[in-house]
Amino acid sequence: MYCRQRSTLRRQDFGPKDGEHLIAKVRTSGLEAKLQDVAWKRATSSRWPFEPRFSLLGDNCFVDVYLFDDEWIGDRWRFTNTPIITPGDPVEVPLYSVAHVGDLHGLSQLLNTRTFDRKDLDNALIGAIDLPSDNTDVIRLLLSAGADVNTSLDDGTTILMESVSSLNIVNIELLVSSRADRSRKNRAGDTAISILNKQITRAEKSGGALPDFVDEIVKLLNSDPL
């Protein structure tokens, strides 16, 4: 899903039973089939994320497939049409597994009943950031549990940079207000604002459409530190 204008709607916190009921209602109403039909007709490229840090030997795994049309701005991972499977065992990485799909209820249960180290929390935060929809409640909970707001990938790309790459303004607002370091550079020498500028330049050259809230992101990244 994507938006051209900033939405004020937020994801609701459903318990397991509420979620099952909602999914069943979406399916029986025919909405799921219509959304799938629209997605396949509009999509011009796809992304299958690959996470090599997960075990390839797990009996259980999850696979993400994101579809994109020409109106959205592709980031550095989204220019490939090559499908790649994301292997991961929910038993092996339970915290990541619930954070990655925005399961706030499941995340709360895990944090209240089990002990996780900093590496687990940071890894889950990377998964939470990757969700295209509003996952700020999950991100906020992980930060309060001790995850590092400047968590980065192996190439030094921080979660703020990742959020900027996908133009996820709600993530950016939360991370900036949580004092994320906007001056950090990855191995390629990019900062969050330079990544955004490249997005803007790319869109201008290709004639692509930018979301209306890009100016807000620029202000957030250039504002005085809190």
DSSP lists the bridge partners of residue 67 as: 46
Q: Which residues contact 94 (CB under 8 A, 6 or more apart)?
A: 110, 114
Average pLDDT over residues 184-208: 90
* Residues spanned by the domain of 173: 150-226
Residue 224 covered by a domain: yes
- State CA 38 to chain mean position distance: 22
pLDDT at 157: 95
pLDDT one-digit tens code per residue, 139-151: 999 999 999 999 9
Rounded to the nearest 5 percent, the helix, strand and coil shares of the chain are 45, 5, 50
What's the predicted TM-score (pTM) here? 0.67
Residue 192 falls inside a structural domain: yes
Considering only residues 107 and 212, tell me which one the structure prediction assigns the higher pLDDT.
107
Residue 204 lies in a domain: yes
First to last CA, the chain: 32
For the domain that residue 174 is a member of, what is the CATH number? 1.25.40.20
pLDDT one-digit tens code per residue, 88-140: 566 778 899 889 888 899 999 999 999 999 999 999 999 999 887 789 999 99
Residue 162 resides in a domain = yes
pLDDT digits (tens, 9 = 90+) for 16-55: 455 556 667 777 888 777 777 776 666 655 554 444 444 4
Number of separate domains in the chain:
1
- Residues 63-101: pLDDT tens digits? 455 555 544 444 444 444 444 444 456 677 889 988 988
Q: Give me the pLDDT at residue 89, please.
A: 62
- In a domain, residue 4? The reply is no
Entry field: residues in the chain: 226
Nearest to 99 by CA among 128, 74, 75, 76: 128
In a domain, residue 120? The reply is: no
